Amino acid sequence: MAGVIDQRLAELGIELPRAAAPAANYVPFVVSGKHVFVAGQIPVESGNIMYRGRLGDGMTVDDGYQAARLCALNIIAQVREACGGNLDRVVRCVKLGGFVTSTPDFTDQPKVLNGASDLMIEVFDEKGRHARFAVGAPALPLGVAVEVDAVFEIA
Amino acid sequence: MAGVIDQRLAELGIELPRAAAPAANYVPFVVSGKHVFVAGQIPVESGNIMYRGRLGDGMTVDDGYQAARLCALNIIAQVREACGGNLDRVVRCVKLGGFVTSTPDFTDQPKVLNGASDLMIEVFDEKGRHARFAVGAPALPLGVAVEVDAVFEIA
Amino acid sequence: MAGVIDQRLAELGIELPRAAAPAANYVPFVVSGKHVFVAGQIPVESGNIMYRGRLGDGMTVDDGYQAARLCALNIIAQVREACGGNLDRVVRCVKLGGFVTSTPDFTDQPKVLNGASDLMIEVFDEKGRHARFAVGAPALPLGVAVEVDAVFEIA
């Protein structure tokens, strides 16, 4: 029987990606006590790197928003793995850490990260309300525009 | 009756700002277990964005120090909210994460972040001694010079 | 009697540095509950700052890898202090946060951070498998190429 969160994902028309393998010698999440620490996720879809580029230099805020949303989808996919497939075990999305590839003149990192924040609230409702930071970076792995890591509390 | 920390704030002549609303779709803090995760705070005072600029390009280290101190005041204001108004519940300032808008040549991020670290120790004494990182960023939200997030342990 | 991890360090020919004093007004680690939060460590060896430079501008990925490994050695030295000298108390390296001084064109931050990740697994085996992020920064304290912070779970 599908859980509450699985049903909401279906209603939203969201199909979670497979939990992506890490790009290097580490693991995509660690469960420690009641917390899941999710490694920095990048905008990967079906194994393809998406949204390469730099905000403030040809990439629009809306592109950045979509990139952040895709990072967040991958975060939820990792949390599902951490929960043994049952997303109803999520107590809270505690924190997101967002890095946005930015020119020195681009200062709308919050609007970009909203792509991740909005998805958390669509999917988890009140349990999706998180603390976060949103900062610029000169460059991110593989040239992507956004990288987001996360801490979740699970039951 | 004023608590111990409230008295110290009064002795230091520090009036905490109101806990600032977040700049986007997230919450300013999450309490998870014994920890408070505080969202990245920027130098806001009475609703006005202060200390816009870049270290290494016209902004002095002392300006950066004051910007970091103001971020830390906003962090303490959020922690007070998280503690239901009673800062004596603070067990420890566990960690600060500091981002400083920097030119590629500016490498005094630690001196800037000391503005936040010094305040934590003034206010919380031994309980204010924290781990931290201090790194450069090409750009931060709204053009501010410093953003700081935090983890506190509370009772 | 030497512990299991101390024996492994000896077999690997690794001598841990002394736990370095922080560069400013904070502490190198905080123990909160079962977690150790380690402040951002830079490539310091016997008190000397090593690996100053920028990836993508004259510094090779292998130099960056060695810088990250040295940061990780300093992290382990801090964790040993936090454990009262007994590294067998380490339950898990939970998370590494990696910042790499990068030109806007350098996107191999993961290969650099592998220097830290590989060491954790050499030393702690399965307990060394961690979540992490790896991002670029325009500049880091004292001009170093890499800064890494960490969260460990201890018993």
- By a Cβ cutoff of 8 Å, what residues of chain C touch chain A? 33-35, 56, 91-92, 94-96, 102-111, 113-114, 117-118, 121, 129-138, 151, 153
Average pLDDT for runs of 10 along chain B of length 155: 86 87 83 97 93 96 98 96 95 98 97 97 95 98 98 97
- The label of the residue with tokens 């239901």 reads B84
Q: Which of B127, B152, B108 is nearest to B3 (CA)?
A: B127
Residues in chain C closer than 8 A to B121 (CB atoms)? 25
Residue B6 corresponds to which tokens in the numbers above? 């409230």
Residues A56, A57, A63, A66, CA torsion sign: negative
- The label of the residue with tokens 């879809």 reads A45
Q: Which of A93, A84, A46, A74 is nearest to A146 (CA)?
A: A74
- Above 80 in pLDDT, residue A24? no
Query: What's the pLDDT score for residue B49?
Result: 94
- Above 80 in pLDDT, residue A20? no
Query: What's the pLDDT score for residue B61?
Result: 98
Residue B132 corresponds to which tokens in the numbers above? 């931290």
Residues in chain C closer than 8 A to B95 (CB atoms)? 30, 37, 39
Q: Which of A147, A94, A148 is nearest to A124 (CA)?
A: A94
Long-range contacts of range C124-130, CB-CB < 8 Å, 24 or more positions apart? C124/C5, C124/C90, C124/C93, C125/C8, C127/C90, C127/C91, C127/C92, C127/C93, C128/C93, C129/A26, C129/A27, C129/A30, C129/C92, C129/C93, C130/A26, C130/A27, C130/A30, C130/C92, C130/C93, C130/C94, C130/C95, C130/C96
Banded pLDDT at A153 (limits 50, 70, 90): very high
Set out the domains of chain B in order of their start, with CATH numbers.
4-20+29-154 (3.30.1330.40)
- The label of the residue with tokens 């040295």 reads C70
Residues in chain A closer than 8 A to B71 (CB atoms)? none
How many angstroms separate the CA atoms of B74 and B45, rounded? Answer: 9
Tell me which DSSP letter residue B17 carries. P
Q: Are the beta carbons of C140 and B138 separated by less than 8 Å?
A: no
Strands of B90-101's sheet, edge to edge? B29-32, B35-41, B146-154, B90-101, B131-137
- The label of the residue with tokens 């987001």 reads A148
Q: How much helix, strand and coil, in percent to the nearest 5, is found in chain B? A: 35, 30, 35
Q: Which of B105, B99, B86 is nearest to B146 (CA)?
A: B99
Q: Are the beta carbons of B129 and C27 separated by less than 8 Å?
A: yes
How many angstroms separate the CA atoms of C101 and C108, rounded? Answer: 11
Residues in chain C closer than 8 A to A101 (CB atoms)? 136
Per-position pLDDT tens, chain C of length 155? 579 999 999 999 988 888 877 766 789 999 999 999 999 999 999 889 999 999 999 899 999 999 999 999 999 999 999 999 999 999 999 999 999 999 999 999 999 999 999 999 999 999 999 999 999 999 999 999 999 999 999 99
Query: What's the pLDDT score for residue B42?
Result: 96
B103, B106, B131 ranked by CB distance to C27: nearest? B131
Q: What angle do CA B33, B37, B40 make, to 5 degrees?
A: 175
Reduced to 3 states (helix: H, G, I; strand: E, B; else coil), residue A28 is: coil
Write the pLDDT tens digit of every residue in A110-130. 999 999 999 999 999 999 999
Residue A153 corresponds to which tokens in the numbers above? 């509390």
**ipTM confidence:** 0.95
Pairing of strands C29-32, A146-154: unpaired
Number of Cβ within a 10 Å radius of residue C142: 16
Query: What's the pLDDT score for residue A21?
Result: 75
Number of Cβ within a 10 Å radius of residue C107: 20
How many angstroms separate the CA atoms of A32 and B32, rounded? Answer: 13
Closest chain A C-alpha to C20 CA, distance in angstroms: 26
Q: In terms of DSSP H, where are the helices of chain A?
A: 4-11, 61-82, 109-124
Give me the amino acid identity at C44. V
* CB-defined contacts B:C, below 8 A: 89
Query: What's the Cα-to-Cα distance from C102 to each of A112, C84, C105, C127, C132, rounded to whole Å?
Result: 22, 36, 8, 30, 18
